[in-house]
Structure 1
Amino acid sequence: MTDQLEPMPEDWQRALAIVAHPDDLEYGCAAAVATWTDAGREVSYVIVTSGEAGIDTLAPDRSGPVREQEERASAAVVGVTNVEFLGHPDGVIEYGTALREDLAAAIRRHRPELVVTLNFDDTWAGTHWNTPDHRAVGRAVLDAVGDAGNRWIFPDTDAEPWNGVRWVAVAGVDSPTHAVDVTDGLERGVRSLMEHRAYIEALTDEDPEAYARGLIEGFARDEAKRFGGRPAVTFRLYPR
């Protein structure tokens, strides 16, 4: 018998998703965002880079604007209209106080109850090495949540301290604790990934829709066995 996951908390109104690259949220998490916005919750995105080093056939000065445009279109599919890019260099994000300060400032601006980020473990599923950007951003997110509530750390940000984050949810991990039923948001999760057409077309010769549908529906089906048979997006939840 597979251990069953707990449902994600629902007694919140504002969430902030912070990830390294355009497309990070679309590889499996956007269907949960669609489910949340359908329920009247507010979700904003903060993307640390513009993903400018992510397309081998497109120079960074051209790739960055394309990827920002694709991310805004992708976010709109799942009901997100507020998307910020912090402008850190793609591929060489450095964990440290500069990154923590930028993330703490974003948390103070948006004042979320739930913060979402991406797998920052060393590997994906214990076999594929994770990227330095994912590891740096995810760990900085956890630290910045604490920083955001301390008025004596980074005191010069524009917004006042915010100590109202109640949970941090990490997507894409192989040891999740909670899940969201994405039955109603799954199709938009697929379509949100499809908006990253330039990225997908450089990545694979597969038809973009077939590629996106196979991945997102496949992820949700795989997780269903741990969530009562319902298609799911899973998270490791850290309460505060």
Structure 2
Amino acid sequence: MQTLLTPADLAARHGWRTALAVGAHPDDLDFGAAATLAGLTAAGVRVVQCIVTDGDAGGFDSEGPEAMTARRHAEQRAAAAVLGIDQVRFLGERDGFLEPNHRVQKALVRVMRQVRPDVVLSLHPERDWERMQRSHPDHLACGEAVVRAAYPAVENPYAFPELLRDEGLEAFRIRHLLLYAAPRARVDTAVDVTGLEEAKIRALDAHLSQHPDVEGMRSFVRRQMRDEFALAGGRGDGSAESFHLVEVNGADTIAGF
């Protein structure tokens, strides 16, 4: 059974005041969670975006990787601004070659300890066999790296101790993961984003380098949001984005199993 709540109600239910939203590439967050992020910022939640790769292998022209990186950074900042987000961090990994290794985990732990979010949005680490495009290898690697960083690394002072020694970044506990692009069997939370559809579309429109068929993209995204609303049991016309909500640390969480 899915939960169907507005972004504001979801944040209030779980006490979220700060969110870190992670994507493997520029535009991942906008396809997977832009309307939810717009609703969270409107509700007063502080949102920081983190993009793990530069998206340098994307696009449909021959500008070259350096020019494409600059363009995609600018596109992501423009998309974030549409959603009310003014902080976008780029980790600079190479598009198409992402691995959930210790270097990437350390970079994510650093950002998590800097931002200290209550909830981390990220791509799901499990493959969706029904729609392979959701499961780009970079997506899976990003999701796995985020999960490993969120538990146990970010809360373990002995993991990457140089972050505390050299940068003063103390360990802390993350409450929740909110994972998008999840396999259908894992989806348990649908966010009612009715009225926020155009913010999502405007954010996606910012990624001009990625859309050879802008109208086709818009139609697909609107249809997808309507379908998610219906699958979640919504009544009438509405839109939703779907997630797998994971409690990392709750009131009864203890160390170990």
Higher helix share: 2
The SS at the match of 2:44 is coil
Note if 1:135 corresponds to 2:140.
Answer: yes
The SS at the match of 1:29 is helix
Note if 1:237 corresponds to 2:235.
Answer: no
Structure 2 counterpart of 1:5, from 3, 14, 34: 3
Structure-1-length-normalised TM-score:
0.90
- State the partner residue of 1:198: 209
Distance 1:129 1:181, change over 3 A: closer
Distance 1:195 1:150, change over 3 A: same
- State the partner residue of 2:119: 114
Measure the CA separation in 2 of the matches of 1:93 and 1:227: 37
The SS at the match of 1:70 is helix
Alpha-carbon shift at residue 35 of structure 1 (Å): 0.6
How many residues align? The count is 232
Contact 2:3 2:190 in 1 (8 A): yes
Alpha-carbon shift at residue 169 of structure 1 (Å): 0.6
Alpha-carbon shift at residue 128 of structure 1 (Å): 5.4
Measure the CA separation in 2 of the matches of 1:53 and 1:65: 12
- State the partner residue of 1:166: 175
Distance 1:159 1:83, change over 3 A: farther
Measure the CA separation in 2 of the matches of 1:29 and 1:194: 15
- State the partner residue of 1:30: 34
Note if 1:44 corresponds to 2:48.
Answer: yes
Q: Output one character per residue of 1:148-176: Cα deviation in whole Å (capped at 9) or x when no partner.
A: 11111011122423423110011121231
Alpha-carbon shift at residue 6 of structure 1 (Å): 4.7
The SS at the match of 2:201 is helix
Contact 2:11 2:40 in 1 (8 A): no
Measure the CA separation in 1 of the matches of 2:73 and 2:178: 24
Q: Output one character per residue of 1:72-118: Cα deviation in whole Å (capped at 9) or x when no partner.
A: 00000001110000111111012211111111111001000000001
Distance 1:62 1:169, change over 3 A: same
Consecutive unaligned residues of structure 2, counting only runs of 5 or more, are 249-257
Contact 1:177 1:235 in 2 (8 A): yes
Runs of 4+ in 1 over 4 A off after TM superposition: 126-129
Q: Output one character per residue of 1:104-137: Cα deviation in whole Å (capped at 9) or x when no partner.
A: 1110010000000013222353655822211111
Measure the CA separation in 2 of the matches of 1:172 and 1:77: 21
Which range moved further: 77-86 or 122-131? 122-131
Structure-2-length-normalised TM-score:
0.85
Distance 1:224 1:122, change over 3 A: same
Pairing of 1:8-157 with structure 2 (within 5 A):
8-10=10-12, 11-58=15-62, 59-125=64-130, 130-146=135-151, 147-157=153-163
Measure the CA separation in 1 of the matches of 2:180 and 2:225: 12
Measure the CA separation in 2 of the matches of 1:163 and 1:112: 10
Identity over the aligned pairs, expressed in percent?
Answer: 33
Alpha-carbon shift at residue 219 of structure 1 (Å): 1.6
The SS at the match of 1:28 is helix
